[in-house]
Each structure stands twice: as C-alpha cells, then as structure tokens.
Amino acid sequence: MKKFTALWSVALLTLSAPSFAATCDAQAAEKKLAGAAKNSFVQKCEKDAAAALAAATATCEAQAADKKLAGAAKNSFTKKCIKDATGG
C-alpha cells in the first residue's frame, strides 16, 4: 500500500508539472520578465509549486488516514483535498 501511495504522489507531481510551467510562465509574462530573470523566476516558481503540492499531498494523506479511508474512497478524498489545497 505504501508503494501505491508513493506512486500516486509521483503521478500527481508528474501530471501537475506541465501546469506549473504554464502558470509560472504566465506569471512571468504578467511581470514582463525576460531572459535570465524570467528563467530564474520560473524555476523558483516551479520549485515552490512542487513543494506546496508535496506538502498538500502529505497533509491530505494524513487526513485520509485519520478518517480511516481506504481504496477508492481514499483516492477520491485525497485527489479532491489536494485540488482544494493547491487551488488546482
């Protein structure tokens, strides 16, 4: 089960990575950043977003465990919880 949870977390990070890039690029465009400043901003933005997602995932999985959820109920709860926590 721990393997499944770890794989689930990695899958969420992998699937969310392109949206991090698009959001971070949009923020950089709003700030009218270019060149090295844009690259630096986007890298930091993506790193911060990944850290926030990892924290949200851990928190939501802990909440699911507290509620003694398992299987599809746990997956559904965790997915919604992460979406709500990250604004995604």
What is the per-residue pLDDT across 2-56, written as a single tens digit (0 to 9) for each?
Answer: 555 555 555 554 444 456 667 899 999 999 999 999 999 999 999 998 898 899 9
* Residue-wise DSSP of 17-81: HHHHHHHHHHHHHHTT--HHHHHHHHHHHHHHHHHHHHHHHHHHHHHHHHTT--HHHHHHHHHHH
pLDDT at 75: 92
pTM of the model: 0.67
Tens digit of pLDDT for each residue in 58-73?
Answer: 999 999 999 999 999 9
